[in-house]
Structure 1
Amino acid sequence: MTWSTAPAVATPRMMARVLATFYIAAGIAGLFAVVGPGAGSQGRWQILGLSVVVLLCGAVSFRWGSRWPRHVFHGPVASASALVACGVLVSPDPATAMAAAALLSFVAVDACFFFSLPLAWLHMGFGIAAVTAALIAQGDVPAAIALALDAVVVALGTVVRGLVLRASSASRDPLTGLANRRGFDDALQELLAASSRGGRRISAALLDLDHFKRVNDSQGHEAGDRVLCRVADVWRRELPADAVLARQGGDEFALLLPGFSGAEALTLVDDIAARHPEVSLSVGVAEHRPDHSAADLMRRADRALYDAKAAGRGRCELESGPSSELAGDLAAALDAGDLQVHYQPIVALPDGEVVGVEALARWTHPEHGPVPPVEFVAVAEQTGLVAALGEHVLRTACTDLAGVRTGAGEQVTLGVNVSGRELSDPGYPARALAVLAETGFPAQHLVLEVTESLVEGESPTAVTALHQLRAAGLKVSIDDFGTGYSSLSRLDTLPADVLKLDRSFVASLGESPRRAQMLAHLAAMCQGLGLDVVAEGVETAEQAAAVGAVGCTFAQGWRYGRPAPLADLLVGLMSDVDVLPTT
């Protein structure tokens, strides 16, 4: 690790300062050689010209070097070797030539401080070869003296690298090799300083492993260490080169993403978290605001992390604050009743009769057009609008479908998604039952769809609410089952009546006989426990046959109809499901 990577303390700001200091010191030394006592006239103008160039390089490095990517520093370091060799060649006497050659020690320190060990040796090798050749070309400097100087330069660079690595270890987590809290704080201050100068965006994220204590308690701390290293390896591989990932301690990680807005950072961390589905993460993201300090940024990220845990864990949340323009537009749309509710059919297997629907919110922004549900639902959750959004969908759907019958003459069953924040409100059960009383929709035909992570997320208020609503006749469906912290042993204790298998199972069902066998056993177990199984994402006849073969009792997907307005749904209920509208 230490030989193949650059030292952790070599931040762009520190590299720029060291490089500028050495360049300026070398330029001043050159000026002394020109104007000092006993300076000869031979080579005076050449040395003066080189000194001026070196001073200008130092000034440029000091002013703009902190903004350079690490690879840019290869140019100034290599140029320094060439300038030292030129200084040796134009020196008027052996003493001046040796003094100029001694400046190669600056190059050795830069190379061993800035770069990985192979690249540091490459720079030192180039510098030593160029300067040694220049000394020998002088004619008056013995080769043995030149080689002695080379030995001193190599020793100096080696010692400096050892000291730098020792200093770096103070900012590194020994288990994962990531930055520790000290290293993270240093990097945060550096990046915020650079952001204030250049106006570059920066976002921060706090990551927490869900149920990590269970791993340590049940499998031992060695297993827990392997989980931490697994997460560190995946994120280190997938993150941009200039990102800063740190282990804060225990199962907590922190992340800095320079150049990323809050929304972009949320998308990135959500994507990376999905790359290790066996390890569930709760993540809070916040974007830096110009008038806020480092502590403010991390406090907001911590608030978003708390929201992610309160909503059921296994999710990423963005703390965007109530000033979000989209949030204001969403609030206005809710007040005006401009959000629509579309319905997607759910069919019974194997005959394909429509027996229920899932209600889905849809919003067309007056200026920006259709807004993806994943976007405006996230905004609603982040800004406290989710209760109003959830009640709007529930009330609209219950009003639309009260009295609507299936082809067999039975009341259509309605599935409505419920946020963890709604269920965490102690007043939610009373409000939901009040909507049923006002609209006349029968409670036994309403299914509340919650994510598996919410039920597993140790949210006592939410779980208590589900028990209360089930006692009132409502049913509970565990949505996206199989993507969170799944545990078959909990199927007999979940406050649920239905399991909805995530669409990823359906998509790969025909490609994996073991997956099909596993789902068949799961469906049989659910039937024994009195749980219905709904397969989501059914798009083809082959998939429909496959989910029916493994024992799923219901199915949902584009094969049976895409989400559509109420009028189109009613037309579909009077026709064969294969010709339901797909608008």
Structure 2
Amino acid sequence: MLTGSETIKYLQSGDDHRPMHRARVPEVATPRTMASTIAVFYAVGGLAGLLVTLTGPTSGAARWTMLAIVLVALSSAPVVLRWGVRWPRWTFHVLVVSAAVLVDAAVLLSPGPDIAVAVATMTSFLVFDAYLFFSLRAGTVHLAAVLVGVVTALTLREDVGLPAALALGMVMTALGAVTRRLVLRASGATRDALTDLHNRRGFDQALQDAVARTGRSGEPLAAALFDLDGFKKVNDTQGHEAGDEVLRRVADVWRRALPRPVVLARHGGDEFAVLLPGLRGPEALQLLRGVRAEHPDLQLSGGVAEHVGGESGAQLMRRADTALYAAKAAGRGRFELEGGEVSAIARELAAAVAAGDLRVHLQPVVAFDDGAVVGVEALARWDRPGHGPVPPSQFIELAERYGLMGPLGEYVLRTACQDLADLHARTGRRLRLGVNVSGQELCEPDYPARVLAVLAETGWPATETVLEVTESTLDGQSATAVAALRALRSEGVVVALDDFGTGYSSISRLDTLPVDILKVDASFTATVATSPRRAQLMRSLVALADSLGLDVVAEGVETAEQHVLVRDVGCRFGQGWLFGRPVPPEQFPVYLDLPDRAPLQV
């Protein structure tokens, strides 16, 4: 669940999820490139050292030390090549430094000046690696360290003069400058190093060509932008390597699924761009929605725009971007066509939840023995600007369809807790609060923690909080939903089975479901006065619930006759228009002023 301010940011920002750790290093420095390059260096260096050891005049301790260096280098090469692609970037700093130490040691142990200088030239590999792997600053630090080390090693030898060592250092410096320039040019190419798709520059070139071609031929053209909802959380919780793997997987799926004329690019961060020549907007939308369905474990949002005559490529992509944000505002996890059937009412609902423009009304729950109000059910109400009140069934369905149940449920729970806390402060009456919960909310893994966080924030006790769930929710989402309810019950939260009596397996599951209260459906209550068999069923149901330690609340009590009948069969609590309709919190005290009243028609 999101707070109101978080929902506004979530709907407006669209997740700023650029992997900034890659922006400071060359794009050509992919994990695979780094691993293969350093592995080659270790292998070549090891073989060169082995040649020196076997053919040179070195003997004694120096020979054995050189052989140990050779073995370290040769054994490191296959290890880096096999597993280096999975290592974090900082490990390559260690590998470069380690290689520099090995080279310096080999320089000192070399049997003659010519071999020592030849070994020292292997630092060219290190200079190349430093400027290929790391940022300019980090590469320069490595270059300085390498030069200091090798020049020092050479000058410590009596047979190599300082001028020769400094000359080698100058060559290495020039090599570093040239390498950096080539790396920067390679990074500016048209391919994305991580996914091997077009990068933004490559896509812009293709876009410019496609717009020009469309202007000449008149063929249709569509473009799209899509990204991964919540990608920043992947990077924050699992690390950037996990995020990179997700991006590669998305790229592979879309590359295989899209037809050949389509241009697919990584536009930046986790945003992808698609150019669809020959397709109109609705056709492109249908194609992309089909590909999106191949990611059941990921939530992707996208926007599609169709090119219109005289429009530039930049204008086309701006409209695709507008459609992308419309899709996010409508609930995320969906693709929308710019200017198409994006649900205006869904966007307004999202904005209303974010801005706190919905109201929460309270309907009393009474005890039959004395007519006192003992609890309330919190019910969301939405007065849509320019259209008037929207039926709850309509906007709840929209919230479920567009993924807004989390923010909506959080809003109702928080608002109701605050209202009941204020009511308690003003009247001294502590009423039990009931809120409805959807299957979507229960299936979110952190739902129990978020409910408890809201209760802690508002100060409302868990023991006075009732989560009302339907039997169909528990049947359809059994494993996850039941686990969530059990976790909340262990913290004192009360669970009610709502609309009881409309399902087919209710009786058989009463001994397994984590519930404390049965709320008998209004359709069942309505027939108690007209059907003796229903009245007997109600009596049996109440007796069964009583034996299981469950309370029963009769919903939809609208007449005095219904009230008498459900009370006489043993039901202790009731809710319905006979006792009070849902009202704003400021009007609710009218029900508390009459604790000993007879049932009141409102």
Structure 2 length as normaliser, TM-score? Answer: 0.43
Bigger radius of gyration: 2
Higher relative contact order (CA 8 A, sep 6+): 2
